[in-house]
Amino acid sequence: MGGGRKKIPPASRTAPVIPKWIPKAKEFQPPSGEDCLRVRLSHLDVGGPFCLTNIEKDHFADLIGRLKSFESMKRSVLFAPGSDEGKVYAVADLPNKVAKDRLVELEYDDQTEIARLRISGERRLYGFLSEGSSDFWALWWDPEHEIWPSPKKRT
């Protein structure tokens, strides 16, 4: 009767168990709308005196945290008159000669305005705002507030 043969288990017993419910992949979308600030890095100055790659490790954590919070804010709020977070300046009024000369080297001296985001204390991220969109094209990291110094102390 038995003849010494082993039973071969059915394929369904050795196949991996597939759950009946498979979770949906997470979708990446803007936190609160199309008019929220988007930081772009493709025009970042990586060879000049205000290069973001020279950032200190603890400053980097602050920068990323602030940029994450800015992504949930509307451009019109960030750069509203009187706002501490964002300001827009006329390039022609740029007080730092090194920064002005660097704009010429980069061929960005044709821009009429330059914007900045206040990260913390004296630290600033400078770039350009795209007209008609919420894009902020990051350009320079200014940890010592040298590009556009404030007449106020410790700001």
User: From the centroid of its chain, how far is CA 72?
Assistant: 12
Nearest to 127 by CA among 62, 70, 65: 70
Range of the domain at 80: 31-142
Identify whether 1 is part of a domain. no
When pLDDT is averaged across residues 83-91 and rounded to a whole number, the result is 95
pLDDT in tens, 16-39: 666 677 777 766 665 556 788 999
Handedness of CA 37, 42, 47, 53 (dihedral sign): positive
pTM to 2 decimals?
0.78
Identify whether 24 is part of a domain. no
Identify whether 18 is part of a domain. no
Nearest to 62 by CA among 116, 145, 141, 149: 141
Q: What is the DSSP letter of 74?
A: B
Identify whether 50 is part of a domain. yes
Is the CB of residue 65 less than 8 Å from the CB of residue 97? no
Top-confidence residue, 40 or 3: 40
Identify whether 124 is part of a domain. yes
Identify whether 105 is part of a domain. yes
Average pLDDT, the chain: 86
Three-state SS at 129: strand
pLDDT in tens, 63-81: 999 999 999 899 999 999 9
Cα 104-152-130 angle, rounded to 5 deg: 40
**Structural domains counted in the chain:** 1
Identify whether 9 is part of a domain. no
**Is the predicted pLDDT of residue 43 greater than 80, yes or no?**
yes
Confidence class for position 145, pLDDT limits 50, 70, 90: very high
Quick one: how many helices (H) and strands (E) in the chain?
4, 5
